[in-house]
Structure 1
Amino acid sequence: MLQREFVLQPDSNYPLHVTAKKYWLPAFEAHWNDIDALTLILLHSTSFHKEIWEPTIQWMFEIIALRSAYAGSSVLKVKCAWAIECPNHGQSAVLNEAALQQPPYFRNFGCEKYAEAVHRFMTSGGTLSPPVDFSTQKLVGIGHSLGGVAVSILQVLQPVFHFQGLVLVEPLLSPQGLKPLRPLQKHLIQSAYDRREVWPSRKDALEYFTSKRHITHWDPHVIDLYVA
Structure 2
Amino acid sequence: MLEEAVTYPPHDGYPLFLTAKRYWIPEFDIYAEDPEAWTLILLHSTASHKESWEPTLERLFHCAGRDKSVKIREAWCLDCPNHGASGHLNERALQTPEYYLNCGYYALYCITQPMPSSPVTCDKYAEAIYHFLVASPDHGAKVDFRKRRLYGIGHSLGGNTMSLLQTMEPRIQFDSITIVDPMLSPAGSHHLNKLRAILIKGAYERRDVWPDRVTAMKALKRRDRTKKWDPRILDVFIKHGIRPHPGSYYLENPYLGVTLACTRDQEAAMYRDPEGATKPVKSLDIACREKPIHLVLGGIHDFMPQRTHEALLDKKSGRVFASTTIIEESGHLVPLEVPDILGEVLFANIRKSGDMLKPKERSKL
Instruction: Please name the residue that 1:172 is paired with.
Output: 183
Match of 1:104, SS state, is: helix
Q: Deviations over 1:169-227 (max 9, x none)?
A: 23521332423333223323333343321111111100011112332332211101101
Name which of 83, 90, 100 aligns with 2:77.
83
Instruction: Map 1:39-188 to 2 at 5 A.
Output: 39-68=39-68, 75-106=69-100, 107=103, 108-127=119-138, 129=140, 131-188=142-199
Instruction: Please name the residue that 2:36 is paired with.
Output: 36
Shift of the 128–220 alpha-carbon distance from structure 1 to 2, 3 Å rule, reads: farther
Instruction: Please name the residue that 2:258 is paired with.
Output: none
Alpha-carbon distance in 2 for matches of 1:125, 1:222: 33
Note the C-alpha offset of 1:133: 1.0
What amino acid sits opposite 1:34 in the alignment? Answer: D
Q: Is the 8 A contact 1:172 1:185 kept in 2?
A: no
Note the C-alpha offset of 1:128: 5.8
Note the C-alpha offset of 1:123: 0.5
Alpha-carbon distance in 2 for matches of 1:130, 1:99: 22
Alpha-carbon distance in 2 for matches of 1:122, 1:162: 11
Instruction: Please name the residue that 1:204 is paired with.
Output: 215
Two-structure CA RMSD over aligned residues (Å) = 1.8
Q: Deviations over 1:20-48 (max 9, x none)?
A: 00000111111121111111111111111
Alpha-carbon distance in 2 for matches of 1:170, 1:128: 34
Instruction: Please name the residue that 2:23 is paired with.
Output: 23
What amino acid sits opposite 1:149 in the alignment? Answer: N
Q: Deviations over 1:41-85 (max 9, x none)?
A: 1111111111111111111101110223xxxxxx11111100010
Shift of the 171–212 alpha-carbon distance from structure 1 to 2, 3 Å rule, reads: same
User: Which stretch shifts more, 101-110 or 216-225?
Assistant: 101-110
Shift of the 93–130 alpha-carbon distance from structure 1 to 2, 3 Å rule, reads: closer
Note the C-alpha offset of 1:130: 6.3
Alpha-carbon distance in 1 for matches of 2:123, 2:145: 20
Alpha-carbon distance in 2 for matches of 1:64, 1:133: 23
Instruction: Please name the residue that 2:13 is paired with.
Output: 13
Q: Give % identity.
A: 43
Instruction: Please name the residue that 1:71 is paired with.
Output: none
Note the C-alpha offset of 1:113: 0.8
Match of 1:143, SS state, is: strand
Q: How many residues align?
A: 222
TM-score, normalising length: structure 1: 0.90
Unaligned runs of at least 5 residues, structure 2: 104-118, 240-365
Alpha-carbon distance in 1 for matches of 2:181, 2:205: 20
Note the C-alpha offset of 1:129: 4.8
Bigger radius of gyration? 2
Q: Is the 8 A contact 2:126 2:162 kept in 1?
A: yes
Shift of the 187–224 alpha-carbon distance from structure 1 to 2, 3 Å rule, reads: same
Alpha-carbon distance in 2 for matches of 1:191, 1:169: 22
